[in-house]
A and B are shown apart, each in its own frame.
Chain A
Amino acid sequence: MSAKKDEETGLGSYYNNKTTILQEARVFNESPISPRKCRALLTRIVYLLYLGETFSAQEATTLFFGTTKLFQHKDSALRQMVYLSIKELANTAEDIIMVTSSIQKDTQPNLEVIYRPNAIRALCRIIDAIAPSMVQAVERFYKTAIVDKSPSISSAALVSAYHLFPVSRDVIKRWVNEAQEAVNAKATSSFFSGSSSSNYLGFSASAPPSPGYQAVPSTSFITQYHALGLLYLIRQQDRMAVTKMIQQLGGGKSGAGTTLKNPMALCMLIRYAAKVLDEDPNVQKQMLELLEGWLRHKSDMVNYEAARVICEMKNVTPQQLIRPVAVLQLFLSSTKPTLKFASIRTLSALALTQPAAVSNCNLDMENLITDSNRSIATYAITTLLKTGNEASVDRLMKQISGFMSEISDEFKVIVVDAIRSLCLKFPAKQALMLGFLAGVLRDEGGYDFKRAVVEAIFDMIKFIEDCKEAALGHLCEFIEDCEFTKLSVRILHLLGIEGPKTPQPTKYIRYIYNRVVLENAIVRAAAVSSLAKFGVNVVDVAVKRSIGVLLSRCLDDSDDEVRDRATMYLRVMKEPPLAETYVKDESVFSLAALESKLVAYVKDADASNQPFDTTSLPKISREQARQESARPSALETIHTLVPQKSAQSAYAKQLQAVPELASYGPVLNSSAKPIPLTESETEYVVSCVKHIFKEHIVFQFNVSNTLPDTLLERTSVIMQPSGDAGLTEDSIIPIPLSVQPNHPGILYVSFTRDKPEEYATASFQCTLKFISKEVDPSSGEPEEDGYEDEYQLEEVELGGGGDYIVPTYVTFASEWEKMKGAANATETFALSAMESIKAACDSIIEILNMEALGGTEIPSSTAVHTLNLAGLVVGGVGKVLVRARMTFVRGQGVTLELGVRAEKEEACNLVIAAIAG
């Protein structure tokens, strides 16, 4: 062992020394050149670069010019090495233009040398680095090289084209026919490969071949892989073309008709198919047929790839999973570790969402538990934990604790995640799991691992009432000796929330105060906040008094944040009303809204004269905030809870980019979701987003054209308001360029609000106007003449809640009392069409776009119900509260008494009008 180590370090220091290499680079200048020495040195340079060593521009340039001198030697092995180093050095060295002519000499088609492919590959790096315009100059050369009969040359040219694509998109796009030929042509060369090799033998008997160059017929068909990559790169923007390519190359239902012989190329094709499948549900059936055909392919790699893609498909049905899982099951008993690993990993991921489908493999996975490869064993156990039943848990847990110390942190995280979802699944086993988690918490481990364990315990505290005390105890012990500040802070926060609710809160206070004595400033500050929560929330007066003593000790702390917090909380504890706002308040600002408002505030130079206005921000409860920020835990992925993302800031950015709208000021509100104005399957798909500004209203229309081979030019939308809406149309900002198939364009129609203090409501007749032009499929150029066309869209409604009101969170009872003296209105409506209280609640919430508070959106009785709502009116008008009292009598529908209280009169009217309208 020690000898091996010596050898390694010896080798390492020999190779790793950049300075020695730079000195030894003198051999490049020697005369005559020694190819052996130079090759060894080049190998060391390349080795260093591959290890991640970097050379400065000057060093690289010196080495680079050294290597250019080696072009004088004809030794082909040396020349290949020279090309390898040039490729690596070309990124950092200067003046690399010097080698262009030397390289081009080596790429000449009539040259039968082994290093011609190397030269081609090096050439693309040089072109890339010096002048993109040179691509055009070498276009003809590359086009012929791509269809060269030698696979290595063809591959080299294809790979070069792939690298040059970002530099010179348009030129490379013209090479699509050659690439297509490269994918197909090799099928015939395989047909001849047997005869050509005998031919080659006969040739060598009669005349000696040129030294160093042998046209070896390829059996791997790797060229197909490279050509496919290039074809996809060229076509990736065009989904139709990609789909067509997959169907062409996939070779029909059984997959037997495919021209692709290279398994890697097929794997690529499968991945492209997966991408198409993901984006376009319409082709699902055809793609699935292809994928199932590939499950029977003779290469393991292809089988695995197809199985994986089906397993990872969205909304996959158990029926569709049977065959891919069977394929993976077969691999589980394979002798190759890679196959075993790949399939168990896929199954493990699948077990998260479809444990039933995976449980068929339980027997095979049991065998893998004892596999000598720990990674495979870990996956096997965690998968079994997900698929297994309660009885097997004990045994598996014992197995896994046996080798927890032997696996890397990443796998430990996987294990912990599995256990986290397991204890939520089998709460009866919580004692065992908690014991295990507490045990691994004491083990050595990095931050990610410790965080996973702590979060798992957090989850248990949240969802399993029985384990709360024991879990808190374990966490207390953990922070006694925790090196991660972030985790300490989180645990202290949790102790502050959960601790006061336990029967013996004093137990935790000792642990928390220890932190104040022993830890760094950040943890001390968190501990002070946590203590204060005990002081406020615990009923026992003795505890309150001792907390007061502890906090006053913190007043002498060396850190000002800690002192500030202690001072504040001491005051808060003495004055209960303050405690309501600062400790017990359950509402927080919506972070996404706060962020976008702050960004707008910082960017606007005039705004800094006034303080930042927080009253216009919507509030949400802590529970919602947690849901928004929580990473999707194992549990949530099962229930597929999609967090609602705020699109607001994205819209704000888009609008700012339009010069005509820049003077309108900040956006007050944008509709949460685009409203579709057409059916989703029509020729033109249009959706509308409304943006409310202080004095303007802007309608944003997203227009996409689903017809292939047509362009829409001068697209605009004519909006006809019904009646007098109090809005004046100022401009239509049409889509500047043409709308190409599958590339949506955006246009805006702007209105001025005649009386900005009023809330204009109207509905608009909309018509899409455009000039339609056909595209010549062969040249890709649109025809000269188009014809004008119109397309009737559905009506756009302005008004009601969604446009002027955003939901916010308040403590309803106290706010309602507080606004007693403010503007209010009460009105009674008979909603005879409503079938139940529940239906009425849902539609009121939807119309008003306000937050239902205290769980009142779910009626407890079918006859009488009170719904409490809160919202924020845009434009700094402030809060509006709604109390909707409903009674339901069969046959008469719902009778609604709507009580509205708001900070301003107009807001009341707006709400009443929204329900009345």
Chain B
Amino acid sequence: MFLFSALYSFFSRLFFSKTAEITIVGLQASGKTSFVNVIGSGQWSEDVVPTVAFNLRRVRQGNVTLKVWDVAGQPKFRNMWDRYCRGVDAIVFVVDSHDKDTLPIAKFELHSLLDCAPLNGVPLLVLGNKNDLPGHASIGELIHALDLDKIHNRPVSCYSCSMKSQHNLDIVMKWLSSRAS
């Protein structure tokens, strides 16, 4: 019986396993590393050390393996985002929906990233993080502030979520899994 189940899982992994490579970008302190931590190990922590350069994590979700590039968001790293976005299955752009002052900068960085020709057609997921805090921007406000309605050459989705309360993370994972091949 044990042997059989082991065999079964081996074959299921062989035939039904899927992988996806995603890159997470966004301004500093928007919650990128927290997102990786939460989907990877389910743990959320108040103080996360700012990422230098990048982290690479592997996340298993059912029969889907996600390879996640978590790239640093400080200004000096932003020009390197596109290098880690090439050839991935999806780009996740995390914004701090509570800090409305930074939205114009986020918009600028997002659009200059998407203007890179090699990234044409790569699906984009925008996450409005920190919706547990009062006074956060709604989905509509985000779409408007980031000009998401003006992006035409790729599928775009936008969710409001919270890493702290893990609100909406299930649909985010579903969206990511659907990108796997």
Contact = CB atoms under 8 A, between A and B. Distances in A.
Interface string B15-29: 000010100000000
Interface in B57-114: 67, 76-77, 79-80, 83-84, 86-87
B52 A95 contact: no
Contacts of B56: 71-72
Nearest to B89: A31
B79 to A, nearest CB: 7
B54 interface: yes
Contacts of A71: 56
A68 B72 CA distance: 14
B116 interface: no
Interface string B139-179: 00000000000000000000000000000000000000000
A98 B80 contact: yes
Contact of A65 (B21, B76, B83, B87): B83
A101 B52 contact: yes
Contact of A100 (B53, B55, B83): B53
A72 B79 CA distance: 22
A99 B19 contact: no
A97 B79 CA distance: 12
Contact of A31 (B19, B54, B55): B19
A31 B86 contact: no
A393 to B, nearest CB: 71
19 contacts: A29-B86, A31-B19, A31-B21, A31-B67, A62-B83, A65-B83, A65-B84, A68-B53, A68-B54, A72-B67, A95-B80, A97-B53, A97-B76, A98-B53, A98-B54, A99-B53, A101-B53, A101-B54, A102-B54
B80 A102 contact: no
A29 B87 contact: yes
A65 B80 contact: yes
Which of A69, A95, A98, A100 has most chain B Cβ within 10 Å? Answer: A98
B51 to A, nearest CB: 8
A68 B52 CA distance: 13
Given A31-B67, A102-B53, 16 more contacts: A31-B19, A32-B19, A65-B80, A65-B83, A68-B53, A68-B54, A95-B80, A97-B53, A98-B53, A98-B54, A98-B77, A98-B80, A100-B52, A100-B53, A101-B52, A102-B54
A62 B80 CA distance: 11
Contacts of B86: 29
Which of B19, B21, B53, B67 has most chain A Cβ within 10 Å? Answer: B53
Contacts of B67: 31, 72
Interface residues of A, number: 16
A227 to B, nearest CB: 31
A65 B71 CA distance: 13
Contacts of B84: 65, 69
Contacts of A32: 19
Interface string A73-108: 000000000000000000000010111111000000
A162 B87 CA distance: 40
State the main secondary structure of chain A at its contact with B.
Answer: helix
Nearest to B76: A97
Interface of B: 19, 21, 51-56, 67, 76-77, 79-80, 83-84, 86-87
B66 to A, nearest CB: 11
Interface of A: 29, 31-32, 62, 65, 68-69, 71-72, 95, 97-102
Nearest to B58: A72
A96 to B, nearest CB: 10
A29 B83 CA distance: 10
A102 B69 CA distance: 13
A62 B54 CA distance: 16
Nearest to A71: B56
Contacts of B83: 62, 65
A771 B21 CA distance: 72
Which of A71, A95, A99 has most chain B Cβ within 10 Å? Answer: A95
Contacts of B21: 31
Contact of A95 (B19, B51, B55, B79): B79
Contacts of B52: 97, 100-101
A95 B80 CA distance: 8
Contacts of A31: 19, 21, 67
A479 B96 CA distance: 84
Contacts of A102: 53-54
A71 B51 CA distance: 16
A99 to B, nearest CB: 7
A31 B66 CA distance: 11
The 10 closest A-B pairs by CB, nearest first: A98-B53, A101-B52, A65-B83, A72-B56, A29-B87, A101-B53, A31-B21, A95-B80, A98-B80, A100-B52
Contacts of A65: 80, 83-84
Nearest to A72: B56
Contacts of B54: 68, 98, 101-102
A61 B67 CA distance: 23
Contacts of A68: 53-54
Contacts of B19: 31-32
A210 B169 CA distance: 39
Nearest to B20: A31
Contacts of B53: 68, 97-102
Contacts of A99: 53
Nearest to B57: A72
Contacts of A69: 84
Contacts of A95: 79-80
A68 B86 CA distance: 14
A71 B53 CA distance: 13
Nearest to B21: A31
A29 B67 CA distance: 12
Nearest to A99: B53
A62 B83 CA distance: 8
A32 B17 CA distance: 13
Contacts of A98: 53-54, 77, 80
A99 B76 CA distance: 14
A62 B118 CA distance: 14
Contacts of B77: 98
A540 B87 CA distance: 91
A98 B54 CA distance: 7
B88 to A, nearest CB: 9
A32 B55 CA distance: 17
A701 to B, nearest CB: 52
